[in-house]
Amino acid sequence: MKKGEISKKILKGLLFAGGFYIACSSPRFARRAIPELFKYLKYKAENKKKMQAYRRSFYYLWRNKMIDIEYRGKQMRVSLSKEGKKIAGKYHIDGLRIPKPKKWDGWWRILIFDIPDKNKVKREALRGKLKELGLFKLQKSVWVCPYNFQNEVEILRNFFAFKKDELQVIIASVIENDAETRNFFKL
């Protein structure tokens, strides 16, 4: 730290201390200032706890190889590792929701999939996620939704590493005998 900066800090400190001393001589000071002082100290303590929590979490992620740290000169670059991307993707998948518009546009979105037995675990995980997203099971590998979910399907396709021909969306205006489906979506 430069001498000029240190001098500035000393002068500011003395100015603050002088103002504080004058304010303390006022009879109303304690009644007004002390609660504010306690609020400030509580805020500082809470912020310190939050910063410590962030540091611990950051160190945990680095120690468990979920993030990579690279130094370029004086700059530090933090990025997700391969393992970190998997976990972050899982968190993204967990929070996935299909937006429901105020009014249905009259088109059915039909998701069909044909996933080989060697990927049975992925297939069952996909079925569970489709049920969680609120799609209606028309058949084992045919799921229906009246709302646009193509972005969500793309995210699922990428997460599970499905090929384009394993997971496809059809948009249709009519589903034969759709009373149960309409009832499911309250249309």
Q: 103 or 58, which is more confident? A: 103
Q: Which amino acid is at 163?
A: K
Q: Average of pLDDT values for 139-163? A: 88
8 Å CB contact between 140 and 104: no
Asked whether residue 33 carries a pLDDT value surpassing 70, the answer given is no
d(CA 5, CA 11): 10
Radius of gyration from C-alpha coordinates of the chain: 29
pLDDT (tens digit, 9 = 90+) per residue, 57-95? Answer: 777 777 878 777 777 777 777 777 787 777 776 666 777
pTM here is 0.57
8 Å CB contact between 102 and 166: no
Q: Average of pLDDT values for 85-113? A: 83
Q: Average of pLDDT values for 18-43? A: 60
d(CA 168, CA 176): 20
d(CA 41, CA 30): 16
Asked whether residue 27 carries a pLDDT value surpassing 70, the answer given is no
pLDDT of residue 112: 93
d(CA 22, CA 140): 80
C-alpha triplet 184, 186, 187: angle, nearest 5°: 115
